[in-house]
Amino acid sequence: MLKACLNGSLRRHEHPAVPITPAEVAADAVRCESAGAAAVHVHPRDEEGRETLAADAVDATVAALRRSCPELPVGVSTGAWIAPDPDERVAAIESWGVLPDFASVNAHEEGAERVAAALHSRGIGVEAGLWTPAAVAAYQAWRVPCVRLLLECMEPEEEAALANAHAMLAALGGAAQSVPVLLHAEGPAVWAVLREAVQLALHVRVGLEDTRMMPDGTMASGNRALVEAAVTFGATSGSAV
């Protein structure tokens, strides 16, 4: 499965094609779906373009995606940098009126299991964001079921990112067979980690949240171009993404 991560915290001055408004996000999702993306991950924004968990922004963004690509699974972030207080994150989730299919929760963040439980109680699938082997251990103590494990390699160097990926897979052990695993990186190591994920037959993701660069080092025109490149990686390896 190839997921498109459309915007993250990226601002317009960092890339002109990053989708910010609900209409822009929905239009970009349509383009990515037509290029081969099987799901999207988005960070809803307020009227100033800032990431938010507020119901008006989340509802508007998810609703726009439902109208434009009704068959495409939609996920959002619950990152602590958006709302540092776990109580605030839980209250925001409980206020949403238009629910995404899934949401990511970083296991290393304060109150992560409470946030995951709030999602699960509303019927929203939980993706556990795991950045390190220590985060894997924290996740393994959860009592909340997850629909997917996100192994997220934040190291800028390819060698370090790949080493972290394999360390997290080793720490997961049998859990890597019982829960779907998506492996991805952010920054310069994106394409090396994506190639490794394809070779390991794991789910992958790509988009402007993770990188603005194409595999050849040129600037991507937008999310559709990044998705097309990721699909090509899968085709040349003989694996599906």
Domain chopping of the chain, boundaries: 2-237
Kindly report the pTM of this predicted structure: 0.94
pLDDT at 238: 47
What dihedral angle (degrees, nearest 10) is formed by the CA atoms of 55, 6, 139, 115?
0
What tens digit of pLDDT does each residue of 56-104 get? 999 999 999 999 999 999 999 999 999 999 999 999 999 999 999 999 9
Residue 169 has pLDDT above 70, yes or no: yes
pLDDT at 233: 77
Residue 128 has pLDDT above 60, yes or no: yes
Q: Which CATH class is domain 2-237?
A: alpha beta
pLDDT at 241: 54
